[in-house]
A and B are shown apart, each in its own frame.
Chain A
Amino acid sequence: MEEKFSYSKTLKELQKILEELESENVEIDKLSDNVKRAVTLIKLLREKLKKTETEIKEIVKEFDEKQA
């Protein structure tokens, strides 16, 4: 699952939900579920970002060490 996680796909899904949430005819019934899903997705995206950032920092650090 983790392997297949796609930032852009997830982002698209989130944006769709957010658009729905902001539209006038939001389904109140689905509202809760949608908000829940959105928050989950945000959490996932944030994790992914965090992970990527760490990875990049790691790579740069490695490069620095090699230079020295």
Chain B
Amino acid sequence: MKKTDFSELGPLFVSMDDEKPAAALTVSQLNSQIKQILNSAFRDGVWVCGEVYRYDLDIVKAETRPYGQVYFELVEQDPVTKERKAAISAVMWGDDRIKIYEKMSAAVSGLVLKDGLQIKAKCFVDFYPPQGKVQLRILDIEPEYTVGKMAVEKKLLLEKLQATGLLNKNKQIEIPPVPLNVGLITSVGSAAYNDFADELKKSGYSFKIYVCDARMQGPDLENEVRQAIYTFDKYPIDVIAIVRGGGSASDLMGFDKEGVAVAIANSSKPVLTGIGHQIDRTVADEVANRSFKTPTATAQFIVEQVRIFEEETENLFTRILEEKDIFLANQSERLKNISKEVKSLSLLFTQKLGNNIEQVKEKIMWVTEKLFETRYSRLDEWERLANSKKPQNILKMGFTLLYDAENKIVKSVKNISVGSKMTVELRDGKIGGTVTSKERN
């Protein structure tokens, strides 16, 4: 390519003040000159920052093209309004692409060019005369820029979510104890889908899986996943699982999008992620109720919840049975003790009562005996007294009884006179006589 000398181009710039009729160029002459100017102006190439756009659609055709070239665009959006500020066509030749891909995956394993990726590219600014179109030829890129951009974006989004309280919002939802109704968001028919569903089936529990098909990569991911989450909010679902198989870091970009993060945060159901990545956690993982490395691990966690509940219920039931036995044993022991106590107390009582009765009885006997003893002895005494008074007994002792003529007992000399008849009674008979003298003592 010939070097362009701007001084030679001088007459071609038409001055509006010029009175002379202008010399006209053909379109191809013009385009050729534009091409020369552009080429010389960006002779050493230029570094351009922009977002990869319409790459994913075209890359599939690249292999069929003679130089393996891929056509796409670099765009610039307003960071706040997301409105497009500028766009430019870009082409990447097959050789350059291989070199660039190697460089990218050397920087971050799995990092590939994708729509939405922010890149810093060294470009050659070219002009394609047949279409009058400016086109960048991508020669090289600086992967560190892309990685940094991704990290910064992610960091900013996480900060924003933290500030608005969305980061931990879904984590505060408690996972129901028996999450049998599972809302699954994934690419239906994928390995991730099968792994997840198989794990639930294998458990033997009667899981009910509601599936929402969504693209798990590419630019449509954000919208489809968000829609799926909103849809599930209306269903009687216990837990939502977003799962996909392992993929490259740039494949996961959709899960770093604000739309997905906000939808997860605002979901009324606990959201689990099993996005299948090893290196880094996506924003979706950060916002989710819980995140797992694989779809299988996600399903295992859900199964585990049910299993724990079942086990706890079993244990509770066993404990209730045990408690019941212990309670009954305690109560019957208490009853036994009470009845024992009642028995011993009443025995003590009757014994005491018996003792009292015995004492009373003995007292009665004793008193009675004394009473009778006294009576008997008194009677004995009286009997002796009475007997001692018997006249016969007096006579036995040698005393005599003196009777007068009228047969009255004479007790004093005054009561009998000398010469009167008298009778003397002795122990064994009577003697008659007359009083011959009397003398007073």
- A: residues with CB less than 8 A from B are 14, 17-18, 21-22, 26, 28-29, 31-32, 34-35, 38-39, 42, 45-46, 49, 52-53, 56, 60, 63-64, 67
CB-CB contacts of B323-337 with A at 8 A, as 1s and 0s? Answer: 000000000000000
Pairwise interchain contact A21-B376, C-beta atoms closer than 8 A: no
Name the contact of B376 in the complex, choosing from A26, A28, A49 (C-beta under 8 A).
A49
Pairwise interchain contact B376-A35, C-beta atoms closer than 8 A: no
Report the minimal beta-carbon distance from A37 to chain B, rounded to whole angstroms. 9
Q: Which of B362-394 contact A (CB under 8 A)?
A: 364-365, 368, 372, 375-376, 379, 382-383, 385-387, 389-392
Pairwise interchain contact A46-B389, C-beta atoms closer than 8 A: no
Name the contact of B386 in the complex, choosing from A35, A53, A63 (C-beta under 8 A).
A35
Bound: A42/B375 CA distance, A: 10
Residues of B near A31 (CB, < 8 A) are 389-391
Name the contact of B382 in the complex, choosing from A14, A53, A60, A67 (C-beta under 8 A).
A14
Name the contact of A18 in the complex, choosing from B357, B376, B382, B390 (C-beta under 8 A).
B382
Residues of B near A17 (CB, < 8 A) are 386
Contacts across chains A and B counted by CB atoms under 8 Å = 59
Pairwise interchain contact A39-B386, C-beta atoms closer than 8 A: yes
Knowing A31-B391, A49-B376, A60-B361, say if A18 contacts B368 (CB, 8 Å).
no
Bound: A38/B388 CA distance, A: 12
Q: Which of B382-438 contact A (CB under 8 A)?
A: 382-383, 385-387, 389-392, 401, 408-409, 411
Pairwise interchain contact A21-B386, C-beta atoms closer than 8 A: yes
Pairwise interchain contact B391-A32, C-beta atoms closer than 8 A: yes
Contact of B236 with A by CB under 8 A:
no
Pairwise interchain contact A63-B361, C-beta atoms closer than 8 A: yes
Pairwise interchain contact B365-A60, C-beta atoms closer than 8 A: yes
Bound: A31/B385 CA distance, A: 12
Pairwise interchain contact A53-B391, C-beta atoms closer than 8 A: no
Pairwise interchain contact B357-A67, C-beta atoms closer than 8 A: yes
Report the minimal beta-carbon distance from A52 to chain B, rounded to whole angstroms. 8
Report the minimal beta-carbon distance from A26 to chain B, rounded to whole angstroms. 7
Report the minimal beta-carbon distance from B181 to chain A, rounded to whole angstroms. 81
Pairwise interchain contact A49-B375, C-beta atoms closer than 8 A: yes
Residues of A near B376 (CB, < 8 A) are 46, 49
Q: Which residue of B lies closest to A45 (CB)?
A: B379
Contact of B176 with A by CB under 8 A:
no
Q: Which applies to chain B's interface (DSSP): helix, strand, loop or mixed? A: helix
Pairwise interchain contact A42-B386, C-beta atoms closer than 8 A: yes
Besides A32-B391, A63-B361, A64-B361, 4 other CB < 8 A contacts?
Answer: A35-B387, A35-B389, A49-B379, A67-B354
Knowing A49-B372, A60-B364, say if A32 contacts B390 (CB, 8 Å).
yes
Bound: A13/B386 CA distance, A: 13
Q: 5 pairs across A/B with beta carbons < 8 Å?
A: A18-B386, A21-B389, A32-B390, A39-B386, A45-B379
Enumerate the 8 nearest inter-chain pairs by beta-carbon distance, A residue then B residue, closest first.
A38-B386, A28-B409, A21-B389, A42-B383, A35-B390, A35-B386, A53-B372, A42-B379
Bound: A61/B390 CA distance, A: 42
Bound: A25/B191 CA distance, A: 151
Report the minimal beta-carbon distance from B372 to chain A, rounded to whole angstroms. 5
Residues of B near A14 (CB, < 8 A) are 382
Residues of A near B387 (CB, < 8 A) are 35, 39
Bound: A17/B372 CA distance, A: 22
Q: Which residue of A lies closest to B410 (CB)?
A: A28
Pairwise interchain contact B409-A29, C-beta atoms closer than 8 A: yes
Report the minimal beta-carbon distance from B351 to chain A, rounded to whole angstroms. 12
Bound: A56/B371 CA distance, A: 12
Residues of B near A49 (CB, < 8 A) are 372, 375-376, 379
Bound: A1/B386 CA distance, A: 25
Q: Which residue of B lies closest to A52 (CB)?
A: B372
Pairwise interchain contact A28-B368, C-beta atoms closer than 8 A: no
Name the contact of A26 in the complex, choosing from B364, B368, B389 (C-beta under 8 A).
B389
Pairwise interchain contact B385-A39, C-beta atoms closer than 8 A: no
Bound: A18/B368 CA distance, A: 26
Bound: A39/B382 CA distance, A: 8
Residues of A near B386 (CB, < 8 A) are 17-18, 21, 35, 38-39, 42
Bound: A63/B409 CA distance, A: 59
Residues of B near A35 (CB, < 8 A) are 386-387, 389-391
Residues of B near A56 (CB, < 8 A) are 364, 368
Q: Which residue of B lies closest to A64 (CB)?
A: B361
Residues of B near A63 (CB, < 8 A) are 361
